[in-house]
Amino acid sequence: MVDIPQIAPPSEFGRETFDRMKAIPPYDFNSYGEGLCRRRIRLINESETGTIGELEDDFHHFRVELTHDTDKVLSVSGLVLRAPWSTCSEADLPLQKIVGRPLSSDSTAIGSYTSPTSNCTHLFDLTGLAISHSMQDDPICQYDLMVTDPSDEEQELRLWKNSELLLDWVIREGFIISPKDWEGVSLVGKFIAWAKDNLDPLTAEAAIVLRRMTHISTGHGIDLDRLENGPEHTDGPIGRCYTYSNEVLVRAKRMRGTVRDFRKDEHASLMLSDMEVRGNSS
């Protein structure tokens, strides 16, 4: 199994905007099985009525900006900065159904406002986290996540919250096998309901965020850059998100070369490092 560090990857802040295609090396799909996948999520309460969030990983870079009062969402703007398909940039439109809906400290409550499968999965998850964060006292929350490539059918997943190691799992065939107090928990099926019923709210949120990484990391094992158009991905997750809906996939173009390799600390430190200087685009 790939050895990953116990400490959170380093973070940079306030960097000038930069080109990921030049600063971060491309992912080598032939190296699958030898590395790991990273994701960073940063949530910021800029004011009493404004919350922003960004998510960046090997495959994606999304931003969401919310305005709200003490009770409900007043506006939402989703921005796609890097994505695997051309149509991902359209996913701000279905997100607008949450405007006027109540704030909730439960990041999954957004699923009762609009259909997850009609949205971009990652922008949708990020927006739910931003809504939840808007109700927290801490101005900033940062999640750092890693999952190793499979080794002997096992993977190691770790999540740090504000640089503190919060979750450290070893999984096999969709089940957690370590640590002892998580042993036997299934990450498939009704995991979200299980987490909400069995964990305190903040741990449940983190666990749901980390579970998503088991799905994200599988992208390292599939070189979709060999494709040009969405319909060529005949074994894709049809119906599971905005781009993979039948009416959208037919016009999707592959954004080749957008998968980058953040495994080294020197590259991981650059994740979201220019978030603060991007400013509010709404």
pLDDT digits (tens, 9 = 90+) for 84-129: 999 999 999 999 999 999 999 999 999 999 999 999 999 999 999 9
Give residue for tokens 């969709």. Answer: 174
Look at residue 2 in the predicted model and tell me its pLDDT. Answer: 58
Phi, psi of 206, deg, nearest 5: -65, -40
With CA atoms as reference, report the closest residue to 56 among 29, 86, 79: 79
pLDDT in tens, 51-61: 999 999 999 99
pLDDT for residue 48 is more than 80 = yes
Q: For residues 148 and 157, give the distance between their C-alpha atoms in angstroms, rounded to a whole number.
A: 7
**pLDDT band (50, 70, 90) for residue 235:** confident
Mean pLDDT throughout 135-147?
A: 96
pLDDT tens readout for residues 145-182: 999 999 889 999 999 999 999 999 999 999 999 999 99
**β-strand partners of 254:** 85
Query: What average pLDDT is seen over the chain?
Result: 94
Q: Does the structure show a pLDDT above 80 at 279?
A: no
- The strands making up 140-148's β-sheet, listed across from edge to edge, are 73-82, 61-68, 50-57, 36-45, 140-148, 154-161, 164-172, 175-178
pLDDT of residue 236: 86
Position 282 scores a pLDDT of: 39
pLDDT of residue 81 exceeding 90: yes
Using omega within 30 degrees of 0 as the cis cutoff, is the peptide bond preceding 179 cis?
yes
Average pLDDT over residues 206-214: 96
CA-based torsion, 28, 145, 47, 80: positive or negative: positive
How far, CA to CA in Å, does 1 sit from each of 81, 148, 171? Answer: 32, 8, 12
What integer pLDDT is reported at residue 281 of this predicted model?
45
- Per domain, the residue ranges of the chain are 20-223+260-278
- pLDDT interval class at 189 (50, 70, 90): confident
Split at pLDDT 50, 70, 90, the class of 238 is very high
The overall pTM is greater than 0.75: yes
